[in-house]
Amino acid sequence: MRRIRLIVSYDGTNYCGWQKQPNGITIEEVLNNTISKLTGEEIEIIGASRTDSGVHAYRNVAVFDTNARMAADKFAFAINQRLPDDIRIQYSDEVEAGWHPRKNDCIKTYTYRILNRKIDIPTERLYAHFCYFNLDVDKMREASGYFIGTHDFTSFCSQKSQASSPVRTIFSLEVLQDEDMITVVIRGDGFLYNMIRIIAGTLIKVGMGVYPPSHILEIMKAKNRKLAGQTMPAKGLTLVEIEYI
């Protein structure tokens, strides 16, 4: 039995997230069915990041076990020939049998895109959150610094989270601006349920002037989800990369 690793990119618009579930089609389900037909085996793929419904990915990581004799690097091409256009395998290789994408230390990078202008742009409607109110990017950048480091992120976590601990480490958080597009780039050792989308919603409130950048500290210390910003729509969120240490 061999373990094959895949680098997976996808447009999450038409999917109910990564993880297989009864109420709609998912990335995991499509990959399981596609690879099972290719190898003639019952495949159960394991993903590194179980992204939510509507979230996109450039480089998610997944593995599956197979007895197929195909060269490891050829799996990407063979699987892509059978996938829908909104899912693509960027790379495939063979790893040790015990290598697990969720049990190895890693750094995850996500982006959240905010289109900040008076009128929406139709071509961005599936990949960025539209914000009509003028945002102060300098204040958002100042606020972003308070998130960096190891903290208890209870205030920035959905109540549905099943994590054993609310403590996470954020290595960097940047707020970039290119004309009307604001991009929040966040790198960390892992994220709680909806954590990035709540952080983005909180930064937007700072940008709107609802409260000052330093208020992030008070929200964090309170450990109260109700004090942070709203959970922003999934469409603005993209998993960019997973770097294994």
| CA distance linking residue 116 with residue 53, whole number of Å | 23
Question: What one-letter code names the amino acid at 45?
Answer: I
- Whether residue 110 is annotated as binding a ligand: the answer is yes
pTM exceeds 0.85 for this model: yes
The predicted-structure confidence for 28-85, as pLDDT tens digits, reads as follows 999 999 999 999 999 999 999 999 999 999 999 999 999 999 999 999 999 999 999 9
Enzyme catalytic residues: 52
pLDDT, residue 159, reads 77
Residue 2 CA to its chain's centroid (Å): 28
Residue 14 tokens read as: 């038409």
Question: Is residue 89 over pLDDT 90?
Answer: yes
- What's the pLDDT at 223? 95
Q: Say if residues 151 and 220 touch (Cβ distance below 8 Å).
A: yes
pLDDT tens digits for range 167-226: 999 999 999 999 999 999 999 999 999 999 999 999 999 999 999 999 999 999 999 999
Rounded to whole angstroms, how far apart are CA atoms 186 and 183? Answer: 10
pLDDT of residue 161: 67
Query: 159 near 225, Cβ under 8 Å?
Result: yes
Give the whole-angstrom CA distance, residue 231 versus residue 218.
18
Domains and CATH numbers, the chain: 2-95 (3.30.70.580), 106-244 (3.30.70.660)
- What are 90-122's pLDDT values in tens digits? 999 999 999 999 998 999 999 999 999 999 999
Residue 196 token pair? 């990035």
- DSSP character at residue 135: P
CB 143 within 8 A of CB 213: yes
Give the C-alpha separation, 221 to 207, whole Å: 21
- Phi and psi (nearest 5°) for 229? -70, 175
**What does residue 28 show for φ and ψ, rounded to 5 degrees?**
-60, -45
Q: How far apart are CA 24 and CA 40, in angstroms?
A: 24
Cβ-Cβ contacts under 8 Å for 37 (sequence gap 6 or more): 82
Cα atoms found within 13 Å of the Cα of residue 3, Cβ hemisphere only: 12
36 sits in which H/E element:
helix 27-39
Q: Tens of pLDDT along 139-175?
A: 999 999 999 999 999 999 997 767 789 999 999 999 9
Using left for φ > 0, alpha for ψ between -120 and 50, and beta otherwise, residue 40 falls in left
